[in-house]
Amino acid sequence: MKMLLLTHNRFALVDDQDYPDLILFKWRTREKEKGGTAYAVRNVKRNGTWRQEWMHRRILDALPNQQVDHIDGNGLNNIRSNLRLASPSQNSANSKKRSGCTSHYKGVSWRAQRGVWVANINPPGQRQKKYLGSFLTEEEAGVAYDEAARGYFGEFARLNFPKRDDPVWQALEENILTRFGSLETFSSASGVPIQITRRIVYGVFDQSTAAEHPLWEMI
C-alpha cells in the first residue's frame, strides 16, 4: 500500500499495483459538499471537453452505469479491498448519516409534537421513505433501521450498531435479557439511564470504556 499526495495536504491510499499508473497524473481533493466525504479526482480532456475522472472509478475501471462504493466510507481509501461496484441504492445505503439531523443515528428523526423517535428507510427502487415505527428511545429507532437495512441492502447496509453482530456484545445482551428479562428492568435495577444502557449493550461505547461503567459489575 502507498500514499499518493493530493492537494490541501491530503493523501489517497492505493495498492502497490495501481500506484505506477496513478502517479502519472495530478490528482486533487474534492468534497461533493462542504464538510462532506473527500475524494481524489483529476481533470481530463476527452473529445475536446474537460471532464473529471475519479480515482476510485479509474482503479476499478467502472462503466458509466456503475457506481463505486467505499466500504469504510473513506473516499480517500482507494485500496482495492475497500472498493466494490454498486448500484445507486447500494451506494446510498452505505453512505454516512447526514449532518444537521435531529438524531445521532441513520434513518432516525425526532418528532417533537409527538415526543417520539421515528425510524424510516428508503427501500431500493422506491421514491418514498418507508415508515418503520415510532419509539420512545433513539436507540430503539436506530435498531429498527438496522434490521430493515440488513433486509434491503445486505452487506451494503451501513448500520447504526454494527457491533451488535459481534459475539461479545451478543453474549452481553443475551446475559442481561436472561437475568433481568429486559433492558428496561436492568436499567431500573442498576440505576443507569436506559439510553446509556442501550448504548453500552449495542456497542456504541468501545469495550474498554464500557467495562469501566458500574453496570458491568451487575452482569
**pTM for the predicted model, two decimal places:** 0.72
Query: Residue 39: CB partners within 8 Å, gap ≥ 6?
Result: 29, 30, 31, 32, 54, 55, 56, 75, 76
Sign of CA dihedral 137, 140, 141, 142: positive
Find out whether 134 and 116 touch, Cβ atoms under 8 Å: yes
Q: Which CATH number fits domain 2-86: 3.30.420, 3.90.75, 2.60.40, 3.30.70?
A: 3.90.75
Low-confidence ranges of the chain (pLDDT < 50): none
96-160: CATH topology: GCC-box Binding Domain (3.30.730)
pLDDT in tens, 4-51: 999 988 999 999 999 999 999 999 999 876 667 899 999 998 888 999
Q: What integer best gives the mean pLDDT of the chain?
A: 88
Residue boundaries of the structural domains of the chain: 2-86, 96-160, 163-218
Find out whether 187 and 137 touch, Cβ atoms under 8 Å: no
